[in-house]
Amino acid sequence: MNAITQPIHFAHHSNNFKRLRGRLEQQVGRAIGDFNMIEEGDTIMVCMSGGKDSYTLLEILRTLQTRAPIDFRLIAMNLDQKQPGFPEHILPDYFKSIGVEYHIEAQDTYSIVKEKIPEGKTTCSLCSRLRRGIIYRVAGELGANKVALGHHRDDMIETLFLNIFFGGKLKAMPPKLITDKGDHVVIRPLAYCAEKDIASFARASKFPIIPCNLCGAQENLQRQNIKDMLASWELQYPGRSQAIFTAMQNVKSSHLMDSSLFDFKNINLGDVVDEGDVVFDG
């Protein structure tokens, strides 16, 4: 586990835990407000993988639901991909124990991925496409107009660098988007939350975590390489991850090179374009 994701250890009812929970609730509430993620009468399908992020997402949303000045419905949904040895009982038992409405969708995507992807190759891309199609279909069947995913701040930063290094695009994960068919809104309420805080919260909450066994460790995944790079930066320059994330919210199209976003060709002497602050080394 790297420096960014290493959880802090403390008891569930300690003051530190209460402060951590309060911080996560505040960050999720701010993200919801900043991007208008949840509105009156929404039915939100919360995608549950059984990992720390989705457990935390559901728990915080359930708490905020009790305090919100608007009414909205939550449905927890797990896609059982039929991986060998997957503990099918854990999530239904958990959902029943907390009294949340839920749906388990069983689809054997595991066999499809294993059939299509050669041994040793990355399975994430195909697996994600298959999951996405099923998730949107199920959301429609359940009457959910919004789909909540558990991606957090560090996921967004990692995706930014993956797209820069391997896709040639200045692109990350949006906190809110419309699906390609235009029939659902996807929201990421954990957008402002740091992975290390989520890991600490999940550990202290003793969520019954289910590891993803479909892809195995796959230590050669480029996302893991990016994660390690960011962890190294964070150790050397504490706060760098937050600085990168802040930069993602403070974009100046006139200081990049995308002519579709800024009309460089027709700049005239009379136009005022802020030269901006340029940070030099040394």
80: left (phi over 0), alpha (psi -120 to 50) or beta: beta
Q: Do 4 and 154 contact (CB within 8 A), yes or no?
A: yes
* Per-residue pLDDT reduced to its tens digit, 87-113: 999 999 999 999 999 999 988 877 887
Q: What is the CATH number of the domain that holds 35?
A: 3.40.50.620
Q: Is residue 220 part of a domain?
A: yes
Q: Do 42 and 146 contact (CB within 8 A), yes or no?
A: yes
Q: Is residue 108 part of a domain?
A: yes
Q: Is residue 24 part of a domain?
A: yes
Neighbours of 63 (CB within 10 A): 15
Whole-number Å distance between alpha carbons of 175 and 146: 13
Neighbours of 265 (CB within 10 A): 6
Q: Is residue 277 part of a domain?
A: no
Whole-number Å distance between alpha carbons of 188 and 27: 12
Q: At what angle do helices 195-205 and 153-162 cross, to 10 degrees?
A: 140
* Per-residue pLDDT reduced to its tens digit, 35-89: 999 999 999 999 999 999 999 999 999 999 999 999 999 999 999 888 888 899 9
Cα 218–Cα 223–Cα 229 angle in degrees, nearest 5: 115
Q: Is residue 262 part of a domain?
A: no
C-alpha torsion sign, points 16, 17, 20, 25: negative
Q: Is residue 125 part of a domain?
A: yes
Whole-number Å distance between alpha carbons of 26 and 13: 18
Structural domains in the chain (count): 1
Tens digit of pLDDT at every position of the chain (282 positions) = 444 445 555 556 689 999 999 999 999 999 999 999 999 999 999 999 999 999 999 999 999 999 999 999 999 999 988 888 889 999 999 999 999 999 999 888 778 877 777 776 666 677 778 888 999 999 999 999 999 999 999 999 999 999 999 999 999 999 999 988 888 999 999 999 999 999 999 999 999 999 865 555 454 478 889 999 999 999 999 999 999 999 999 999 999 999 999 999 988 876 766 665 555 444
Nearest Cα neighbor of 79 from 152, 159, 155, 139 is: 139
Q: Is residue 270 part of a domain?
A: no
Residue 36's domain comprises 15-248
Token code pair at residue 240: 């760098």
Q: At what angle do helices 153-162 and 240-248 cross, to 10 degrees?
A: 80
Residue with structure tokens 């940070």? 279
